[in-house]
Structure formats: C-alpha cells, structure tokens
C-alpha cells in the first residue's frame, strides 16, 4: 500500500521560501508496518490528479500548522488547507482511507461541519485518556503525548464522527467516521509516546490492513 503523507509548511523569513516539511520518523513507522510512504506537495494545482497518477491508496494528514480560518491562529498555511481539503473530498467520494493526526483530525472535524476551541495543558505534555461509549480500541491507553492548542469538545464534534476516547477535560482524543474509513488521533504516534509505542503500531497496522484494497 502506498500512503500519501501531507506536510507542514514552514516559511523562511530571510528568503521568503515556503518549505514543505515532514518528520522522518513517519517513514520509519510505515516501514515497520511494511508500508510505503510518499510526501504530498502543497504547491500542486490539482493534488487529487497527482495522487491518482502516483497511485496513492491511503492518506495520513500529519500534524503542524494551525487551520487558517481560526481566530488568532499561528503558523498557518492556506495552501496546505486547500490541498488537504481537496484530498478529503476525494476520499469522501472514493472511500480512500484517511488517518488524521492532530491537525489532521481537526481538519476532518471542520471539513465535516464541526468546530474547534482553544485548550490548556495540551502542548508538549502527556495527559490521561479513556475510552468512551464502550469502545475497546483504546482500553490499554492511559497517557498519550500532546502538542496541540486547539481541541474538540464533544459538542463540537461533527455529526458524522464517532468519539472513541477523551482526555480528562472532556475533549475528544480519538474518533472515527460513521461510514467512511477515516480515523482521527489527537496524539502523535510517530513521536515518543511513552509505553504506548507497541499499541500505536498495532493500531496503525489494524487500520491500514483492514482498509487495504478498498479502492
């Protein structure tokens, strides 16, 4: 399976360069799962046409950059918003599997009509999570890493998304689409996640294996 990974945008002030960036650890994670990954550029006129030509079979919407429409957002990247929204539209039409990480889950939610709020205690931190609604997917998860200033309260979650786990403050930490192969996580499985590395690996393997050849 070829997985397309979206990239954060960083601007070099001195040269005004806009650089696409991606944590190298993502490729280690995918390699451990016997999957291949390819970065998705943010400068394409037609990212869906490119994705089809390359043969992308699944997507990971990675972290980084606030969504541009948020009030007082930081380090935004409109080109990235446009790219990822186009890919989500493609996915919703063709059922392309999507794993949304942090910002990726936030975008899923707003794409489907949900909203976000600022949260405290979720930046460069570890915090508790717990499964809800009787879901056992995250029964072994206790603490996860956290790097976001924007979160999703249960009341802000899009109707098409089902919450799977929440933090102690009630914000949604994991969700899945009611009918599409979309999974959202607010923590970063590609980064240090304490004792949960093996659980993250099993989670990602299960997601991509169950959705293999869905196109």
Please state, in angstroms and rounded to a whole number, the distance separating the CA atoms of residues 18 and 11: 5
Find all residues with CB under 8 Å of 92, minimum gap 6, and list them: 180
Range of the domain at 157: 2-210
- The count of domains in the chain is 1
Does residue 104 form part of some domain? Answer: yes
Does residue 141 form part of some domain? Answer: yes
Does residue 115 form part of some domain? Answer: yes
Give CA angle at 35 (29, 38), nearest 5°: 85
Does residue 81 form part of some domain? Answer: yes
Per-residue pLDDT of the chain (215 residues; tens, 9 = 90+): 999 999 999 998 888 899 999 999 999 999 999 999 999 999 999 999 999 999 999 999 999 999 999 998 888 999 999 999 999 999 999 999 999 999 999 999 999 999 999 998 888 999 999 999 777 889 889 899 999 999 999 999 999 999 999 999 999 999 999 999 999 999 999 988 877 788 999 999 999 988 875 54
- pTM (two decimals): 0.94
Please state, in angstroms and rounded to a whole number, the distance separating the CA atoms of residues 85 and 79: 10
Q: At 84, which CATH number? A: 3.40.50.880
Does residue 36 form part of some domain? Answer: yes
């Amino acid at each position: 399976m070829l997985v397309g990974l979206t990239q954060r945008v960083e601007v070099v002030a001195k040269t005004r360069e806009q650089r696409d960036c991606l944590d190298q650890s993502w490729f280690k994670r995918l390699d451990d799962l016997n999957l291949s990954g390819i970065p998705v550029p943010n400068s394409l006129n037609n990212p869906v046409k490119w994705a089809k030509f390359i043969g992308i079979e699944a997507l990971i919407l990675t972290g980084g950059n606030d969504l541009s429409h948020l009030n007082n957002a930081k380090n935004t990247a409109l080109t990235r918003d446009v790219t990822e929204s186009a890919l989500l539209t493609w996915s919703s039409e063709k059922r392309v599997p999507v794993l949304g990480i942090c910002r990726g889950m936030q975008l899923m939610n707003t794409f489907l009509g949900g909203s976000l709020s600022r949260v405290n205690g979720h930046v460069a931190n570890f915090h508790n999570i717990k499964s809800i609604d009787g879901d056992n997917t995250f029964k072994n998860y206790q603490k996860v890493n956290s790097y976001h200033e924007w979160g999703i309260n249960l009341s802000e979650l899009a109707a098409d998304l089902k919450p799977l786990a929440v933090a102690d403050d009630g914000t949604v930490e994991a969700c899945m689409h009611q009918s599409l192969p979309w999974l959202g996580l607010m923590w970063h499985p590609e980064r240090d996640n304490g004792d949960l590395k093996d659980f993250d690996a099993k989670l990602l393997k299960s997601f991509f294996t169950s959705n293999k050849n869905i196109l």
